[in-house]
Structure 1
Amino acid sequence: MSPYALTRTLAEDATGAALRADVLHGLSSTPKTLPPKWFYDARGSDLFDEITTLPEYYPTRAEREILLARAPEIAAATGARTLVELGSGSSDKTRHLLDSFTQLTHYVPVDVSESALRGAAKLLLAEHPSLAVHALVADFTRTLALPATPGPRLVAFLGGTIGNLLPEERAAFLDSVRALLTPGDFFLLGTDLVKDEATLVAAYDDAAGVTAAFDKNVLSVVNRELGADFDLDAFRHVAVWDAEREWIEMRLRSAVALAVKIPALDLAVTFAAGEELRTEVSAKFRREGVRSELGAAGLEPVQWWTDTEGRFALSLSTVPST
């Protein structure tokens, strides 16, 4: 069995403290918001896995198509001996790369869920017994310290997750990625692309109602973890395309006027009838915008691939030699 290590950089109560802070700030703001990371308890993760199989939800299939078709090119272009995956989860996407990365010796998955990291590592080590895995229990939106591993390194951020960050958050995140890299290292980024409104809205408001259940799950998390009394039946899932900002917003709209108590925060929150709580922003991108944002962070784009229908893109960038 190849080496396996796990490093925790999050304090034991970091997740609980972050949830309390996010709920207090978001539900005291106007308009009310909650960050999308709180969708993903065990039930939320299962619901999202189901979403990725729905006919309306194209991003997962489109990105998989690119990874399967272009993995040999990515391996050849980077020569990576270490793969670092931010927000790795179950590492499903990684599997599409590993068979082509014959020179790879180290894999560093980064996720807030220790259980997800351990489960993924067990499967990967069984499939790739020569691979050394060093898992990091960490929040990729904060400053990271990577373990010492051989270069070149390829840092991957897949799934279009960067779209969940607001523009100023994206800039800070890309700066932090650049800080992890040295000349000769690479960054692989997955971005969902701008397309017609009907396709976009359908992807976030499927006919079977799975995304609606996923959206409402954030209220279940707050109820369970903070003792809140949200009535899930009082809220309706809404997906809206903001053409000016070029992003989808997922919202929960209160059907009636109501008050919610959150004992763990000693907080009472009122909702007017029709008031909306924003639970996710999912930005969509254009090639020139991705190039501009990467360039602003000191990253030089070197390759751009899309699926056959042009719905999703993978971009490869590097740190230019000084």
Structure 2
Amino acid sequence: MAYFTSSTRFAAPLASALGLVLSLSLAGCGTRTDGETADAKATAETTAAAAPAPVDSVKLKQLAMRRDSLRADSIVKKSGQLPGAILPGHRIVAFYGNIRSKGMGILGREPKDQMFRKFDKVLAEWQAADPGLPVQAAIHNVTITAQGTPGKDGKWRLMNSKATIEEVRKWAKEHNCILFLDVQPGHSTLQAELPKLEEYLKDPTIHLGIDPEFSLATMPGVRPNQRIGTLDAKDINFAVSFLARIVSENNLPPKVLTVHRFTRKMVTNYKNIKLDPRVQIVMHMDGHGEPTLKKDSYHDYIQTEPVQYTGFKLFYEYDPKPKPHHLMTPKEVIALTPAPLYIQYQ
């Protein structure tokens, strides 16, 4: 999975609402010389002609989205990027986890101030390793999390509370970070879960991650962590269209969409994934282990099956074990082909 970064505001105007214009040519409704009105049939015909055609709001919205997509395409052809695009003009470096959990990643494992001191050092290391490419700091919070129990609706997932989302949003703003809200659908679907995040994604600094590992809707009876889940191109295309609509309707810069991947079956029919200038897709190598294994996974599932931009995850707890293995350095990661533009620490 390959990704790249760049950022300037997306000034493309909102697709304007389409109005229905009716030209009505009404037949004369005069009276006869004897004072009688026109017959009932003529009156009925005139009334029917004047009645407005029913408005298909779904079709109108689709037309508006299509028009905005064509406009975005034309801007990209002229300038190479939409205004406000983060990739490929920056490298995103993110700390991942859940601020309410010590077990999901560095984000939440350590006290907040201690964690951000560590993050500042990591950001400086990346900037020093590749001085010509600005680093964009990011927090990547798992916001809809796969669960070990089915819950009342049997979907095996749970969304963070509004208070938790607002707190992590505050952390990001305090430290000049963009924020990724990550979705592990469990036995639900992206179609059902993503709308829950729409109000947050209207913020130009908030982006989206989706995790096929914990997408089990096609595997009845399988509990999260029992098997590796999967998403098809059609699911990823839904996420792209969902984000593109939010960008258009709210006059936002392009969104970044990260897709986790470390096996072939986690993403099926990758060639059918549709690109849209309003959404920058990062295929993110999410596997842990020693450096050779991680490089091989990146080659097999990201480089060999390219989509748009690429990402690479580093695990503080798992990559260095067993010794003598180590956490890969920024220089080692940059040496990959293509050089990842999204880096995530768990």
Query: Would the TM-score normalized by the shorter structure come out above 0.5?
Result: no
TM-score by length of 1: 0.28
Q: TM-score, normalised by structure 2?
A: 0.26
Larger Rg: 2
